[in-house]
Structure 1
Amino acid sequence: MKKIKIESFLEVYTSMDALPETIFSLMQEAILARDTAYAPYSEFYVGAAILLENGVVVRGSNQENAAYPSGLCAERTAVYYASAQYPNVAFKAITISAKGKNKATSQPIPPCGSCRQAIAEYEIRQGEAIPIYFMGDQGEVWKSDSLENLLPLLFTSKYL
């Protein structure tokens, strides 16, 4: 038996103000998207924004439904819309912001497992890493240089 060590590295920005200008603007788009979330059950609001290679910004917010699990996370809402409206246009960066209704979220909140797998599909398809920046509603912003950094041992079509 042997052990395999898997490491991930993240960049930490002390606040949104420390972000590069383009990413600061993109995070503002994620916050605007977060404010459109429909989350009457969890009261947890998430927004995502994707900068496409053509300069277009696509936003998505989580959309819940009383018939669990019919809702959809913000990241997948944005990813699927971007792919449907702009097929074959590469994703240059993704920003995510999340907050609870009555609870401060100063800890950066990464995409859930399902969203990671969905984003992985597009990172693999475009053959280029997608930087992902995520935060709560305040405080630090964490950056992963790629989705694979957040989800090592990807399940891909090569296994099918």
Structure 2
Amino acid sequence: MAQTRKIALHYLQHASWAALPPDDRELLELAAKAARNAYAPYSKFKVGAAARMESGEIIPGSNQENASFPAGTCAERTALHAAMAVLPKGTVESMAIVVPQVKGSRPVTPCGICRQALVEQERRQGGPIRLLLGIVKGPVIETFSAETLLPLSFDSSQLGRKPR
């Protein structure tokens, strides 16, 4: 007999950027600034991300589209992979993600591929990545782990081996 299971997501919603500490506002501002460097001639949907490393260094990223749509890279993975290329043993403490042109009451959340990449990085570094998802002059969603957004993620145990 099947059992019904329930997944609950726990996150904070802040009314605005002003409700956050200065370090978090700075990270959101840098993500919004990174969105200006997005290459999005097809979708016109510019996304910026900024990853704060344990060392304090901040690595920005923006989405980079391609006429062959699957070949594009999202802002979150651009920032994440740049951070690991520069600081391969580094720890990503937090990441802000901003889509400046979005208005409304709910920030945009990462796509499924980015959620999986963020969760993989959490496992790689042995600790959570705090996410700040923001709208310019609007609310901010704060999660204490990327896994909050992907509770049934795929991992190396399903491959029958551990990463090297």
Q: TM-score range by the shorter chain?
A: over 0.9
SS of the residue corresponding to residue 27 of structure 2 reads helix
Q: Distance in 1 between matches of 2:104 and 2:122?
A: 28
What percentage of residue pairs aligned between the two structures are identical? 42
Question: How far off its partner does 1:107 sit?
Answer: 2.2
Post-superposition Cα deviations, 1:33-68, rounded to whole Å, max 9, x if no partner, equal 011111111011100000001111000000111122
C-alpha separation in 1, matches of 2:36 and 2:153: 31
* Cα displacement (A) at 1:104: 3.0
Q: Distance in 1 between matches of 2:104 and 2:97?
A: 13
Residue identity in the other structure for 1:66: A
**Separation in 1 of the partners of 2:105 and 2:9?**
21
Mind listing any 5+ residue stretches in structure 1 that lack a counterpart?
A: none
Aligned to 2:134: 135
CA drift of 1:127 comes to: 1.2
Distance (Å, rounded) in 1 between the aligned partners of 2:12 and 2:50: 19
TM-score, length-scaled by structure 1: 0.94
Q: CA deviation at 1:136?
A: 2.7
In structure 1, the residue matched to 2:35 is: 34
Tell me, what secondary structure is at the counterpart of 2:97?
strand
**Are the counterparts in 2 of residues 12 and 141 from structure 1 also a CA contact under 8 Å?**
yes
Quote the Cα distance in structure 2 between the aligned partners of 1:115 and 1:42.
Answer: 18
AA in 1 matched with 2:52: L
- Corresponding residue SS for 1:2: coil
Indicate if the aligned counterparts of 1:132 and 1:146 stay in contact, CA closer than 8 A: yes
Per the TM alignment, residue 11 of structure 1 is displaced from its structure 2 partner at its CA by 0.3
The alignment partner of 2:49 has SS state of strand
- Residue 80 of structure 1 corresponds to 81
Counterpart contact for 2:32–2:100, Cα < 8 Å: no
Distance 1:25 1:71 in 2: 27
Corresponding position of 2:97: 96
Which aligned pairs between 1:1-160 and structure 2 lie closer than 5 A? 1-100=2-101, 104-160=103-159
Q: Summarize deviations over 1:62-97 as a string: whole Å, max 9, x none.
A: 011112211110000000110011011101100000
Instruction: Point out where structure 2 has 5 or more consecutive residues left out of the alignment.
Output: 160-164
* Preserved CA contact (<8 Å) 1:106 1:138: no
What letter matches 2:137 in structure 1? Q
